[in-house]
Chains A and B, each alone.
Chain A
Amino acid sequence: MFHVGIKSTVCACAHGRLSTKMALPVGALRLNQLAVSRNFYKFTCCVGARSLSDNVSSKPVPSSATEVAGDHLIYTRDHFALQESLRKIVDQEINPHVDQWEAEGTFPAHKVFKILGNAGFLGVNKPVEYGGLGLDFSYSIAVSEELGNIRCGGVPMAIGVQTDMATPALARFGSAELKEEFLLPSIAGDKVACLGVSEVGAGSDVSSILTKAVKKGDEYVINGGKMWTTNGTQADWICLLANTSDGPPHRNKSLICLPMNLPGVHIARKIEKLGMWSSDTAEVFFDDVRVPCKNIVGQEGMGFTYQMLQFQEERLWAVGNIVTMMDNIIQETIQYTRQRKIFKLPVLYHQSVNFRLAELQTEVELLRSLLHRATALYIKGNDVTKLASMAKLKAGRLAREVGDSCLQYWGGMGFTSDVLVSRFYRDSRLLSIGGGADEVMLAIICKYMDTLPKK
């Protein structure tokens, strides 16, 4: 009796709703899927078709992330309200499409970022004058933790690039004109950003990048190439780190806001990867690309420093993501092993299994505590480079352990593409490499521990 059809008129208010103004067949198909998926959620609830518990104890198992507002270390009621609203967007606009995006090897960044931008989630700690909310970094971490509920690693990573990798330096040091042109639309979700730092020959060793920007009159002429550019095939602009002079390697680089549609910008290829399939990663070349000198962020020669300054935030953000994902993987593994029987007993009831899951959950809680502690110190103005590096190091390694152990307990099913654990296994492997490899984190920690060889 319930018709599940497309509403022909949707409210015209600009509140982050997928637009019905799309006349294209593809757009209509998407809206239909969306309407179907949304109505499905509502359909099941209005016929009261809720799932009932199996033969489990009546004691509810609260998710470790939900704590009472008054007792939480850094989160207030506002943080939880933020997460609830973001969760709705994740459940209704993102998760229903993840499988398809993973299969297609890309996701519609403009569409998704516009929805998030409309709801205010792309500028949480960005200046109010440019459409941001001017909140402190704890809100950004709340967002990153909630985005961990997306059922893949690629989409949260892409969002993280937009909010906490390509834009922080611009927000802090960019000129008003530059912020108007690049920051404002990025916060609104109208422009997709990407970060151009790593190159084919330089990843961990940022100071040895080769891309050059030579001043010619009031323009820079840029030659070189960037690698591992997340959002690279869809981005409207790139935050580019290039050598702008011949000085010492830590002082001769600058950040430049470069529109991606300028002549000479070539997206050489979309890279095929082990995981993070829904995130398009590009190799980009710059062939005599001309950009006005005023597109430089802040001071010339300060690019390396600016990039370093934002690493703390970048790394803590990545940890927020993975902590929620690990929670979810452990919970799904518990659910699966509870109903899957071997030798007449649920897999979960074998001590090697439930003990191991207990170990993993313990470590996830430790990492979460470190994350919140570092965030609490950071928002008070402290330098948390050491703690952030430790958290990133642990996150990458723990994610590999969680993925590996949990996948084992799924048995043959874990090896299929039908389950989340196999996707997590692939996606999370990147964490020990990207955003600062484990080895770089270790070197930073050693520096703080003063255990490095003296020069």
Chain B
Amino acid sequence: MSGRVLVGVKRVIDYAVKIRVKPDNSGVVTDGVKHSMNPFCEIAVEEAVKLKEKKFIKEVVAVSCGPQQAQETIRTALAMGADRGIHVEVTGKDYDTLGPLQVSKIFAALAKKEDAQLLILGKQAIDDDCNQTGQMTAALLDWPQGTFASEVSLEGDKIKVVREIDGGLETIKINTPAVLTADLRLNTPRYATLPNIMKAKKKKIAQVKPADLGVDITSRLEVLRVDEPPQRLAGVTVETVDDLVAKLKESGTI
């Protein structure tokens, strides 16, 4: 086993920012808006670094797809303890239409190229909430997947994963190599300490294009329109249940 873990990190609009829809309804405003690493990706990086500290794996490689600024996100991962980074350069219109299917193809190609033992991703990104990349990548690689992981332990060449599911928790044991996606309670990401931020400068970030990996990133989807959710109207208070029923009948709801 190569002992190498690939971690996907996505640069998204910071969770605290007020989102604005572009006036032409083609998308949301991203220019000049604060971006940071997707919180679930932070959890994924933390898990990978912890595995390395426990000596289960040897190397953590942080990967991000996007324009030049994606390197900042990779650098944050390096400051958290990743060993090196890979920046898959996708810019302009290609970046606007980049979605889980293309990213999965890229990750699958990289996982093979880097001989990865494990691929850890966040369960979903907070901008599109797709929750697809991990699953698609596993399918493309024909690898087992442990998604919504809230606990991960390596046992020999198998991985025990406790998953958060609707009914509670599910424990599975899967073979490696595998894909894991991190859920909220998997761990608490560490702060990038100042010494590590300084050290991260010396770590390498390789640049590669999707074409170099043999991946076609043309999108099969077209965004027609983006709108804000309708404004919530004020409610009406009623005195009794009979009033409620009457009002509901009036509005045609029942």
Looking at the complex, which of B29-37, B93-101, B204-212, B239-247 is the stretch in contact with chain A? Answer: B29-37
CA distance A82 to B193 in the complex (A): 8
Contacts of B194 on A, CB cut-off 8 Å? 82, 85, 119-121, 124, 133
Given A7-B185, A46-B184, also A15-B193 (CB < 8 A)? yes
Question: 24 A–B contact pairs at CB < 8 A?
Answer: A7-B188, A13-B50, A13-B190, A16-B190, A16-B191, A42-B184, A46-B124, A50-B18, A50-B19, A51-B18, A52-B18, A52-B20, A52-B228, A56-B20, A58-B21, A58-B23, A60-B20, A60-B32, A81-B197, A84-B36, A85-B191, A89-B191, A133-B195, A135-B198
Which single member of B34, B72, B184, B197 contacts A82 (CB below 8 Å)?
A: B197
Among residues 7 to 41 in chain A, which have CB atoms less than 8 Å away from a CB atom of chain B? 7, 10-11, 13, 15-17, 38-39, 41
Q: How many residues does chain B have at the interface if contact means C-beta atoms less than 8 Å apart? A: 43
Contacts of A56 on B, CB cut-off 8 Å? 20
What does DSSP make chain A's interface, helix, strand, loop or mixed? Answer: loop
Q: How many residues does chain A have at the interface if contact means C-beta atoms less than 8 Å apart? A: 42
Question: Are A46 and B193 within 8 A (Cβ)?
Answer: no
CA distance A13 to B166 in the complex (A): 32
Given A13-B190, A58-B22, also A45-B39 (CB < 8 A)? yes
Given A16-B193, A88-B191, A133-B195, also A81-B75 (CB < 8 A)? yes
Please list the residues of chain B having a beta carbon within 8 angstroms of any beta carbon in chain A: 15, 17-23, 29, 31-34, 36, 39-40, 50, 53, 72, 75-76, 79, 124, 126, 129, 166, 184-185, 187-188, 190-198, 200-201, 228-229
Question: Are A46 and B195 within 8 A (Cβ)?
Answer: no
CB distance from B165 to the nearest CB of A (A): 10
Question: Are A81 and B79 within 8 A (Cβ)?
Answer: yes
Question: Are A60 and B197 within 8 A (Cβ)?
Answer: no
Question: Are B198 and A78 within 8 A (Cβ)?
Answer: yes
CA distance A340 to B23 in the complex (A): 25
Please list the residues of chain A having a beta carbon within 8 angstroms of any beta carbon in chain B: 1-2, 7, 10-11, 13, 15-17, 38-39, 41-46, 48, 50-53, 56, 58, 60, 62, 66, 77-78, 81-82, 84-85, 88-89, 118-121, 124, 133, 135
CA distance A39 to B39 in the complex (A): 11
Nearest A residue (CB) for B231: A52
Contacts of B228 on A, CB cut-off 8 Å? 52
Which single member of A38, A41, A77, A120 contacts B193 (CB below 8 Å)?
A: A120
CB distance from A329 to the nearest CB of B (A): 18
CA distance A365 to B15 in the complex (A): 27
CB-based closest 8 A-B pairs: A120-B194, A45-B15, A15-B190, A85-B192, A119-B193, A120-B193, A53-B20, A60-B32
Contacts of B184 on A, CB cut-off 8 Å? 2, 39, 42-43, 46
CB distance from A156 to the nearest CB of B (A): 17
